[in-house]
A = this chain, B = another copy of it.
Amino acid sequence: MDAVDRKIVEILAEDARRSLTDIGAAVELSPSAVNERIRRLVANGVIRNFTVEVDHRALGLDVLAFVWVGLAPDADEATFRTFMAGHPAVAECHHVTGAWSYCVKVRMPSLGELEPFLAELKQRRFLARSETVIALSSVRESLATTAPRG
């Protein structure tokens, strides 16, 4: 994990389809060397996945919301986590400090799906309390935040 690796990750985060030759030119290395470094970055788990950033609206996921979860005292936290990890609407789920237990980011086709989602959380007795915040618009959205500094 040196400066060259970081630069390579930065380039890939911007455009993962850049060719090895191209990246090699940017970091002054041969294509094979770049390939080997990428292979190692993947093997070491620094690069988790090659993927695609999507316009969720275009895919029919019009609603983005944050659900603050105050876990019920008797709730099984492991079960809750498994449920969150597997639920198709859940984009993110973080265990957080402060008054709430978890911050859950969800995407759904419409507001109509929100109530059933919350209902299921309640029914499974996960919730002591919750608060849902709906995102109206996004100034910035998970676009490559690799740069360790400006």
Contact = CB atoms under 8 A, between A and B. Distances in A.
Interface of A: 1, 6, 9, 12-17, 44-55, 58-61, 64, 66, 81, 84-85, 87-98, 100, 102-103, 107, 109, 131, 133-150
A88 B139 contact: no
Nearest to A6: B59
Main secondary structure of the interface of A (DSSP, over half): mixed
A58 B53 CA distance: 21
Given A50-B52, A64-B94, 11 more contacts: A16-B17, A44-B58, A48-B52, A48-B55, A59-B146, A61-B148, A92-B141, A94-B136, A96-B134, A102-B139, A142-B142
A133 B100 contact: yes
Nearest to A106: B145
A148 B52 contact: no
Contacts of A87: 150
A14 B125 CA distance: 32
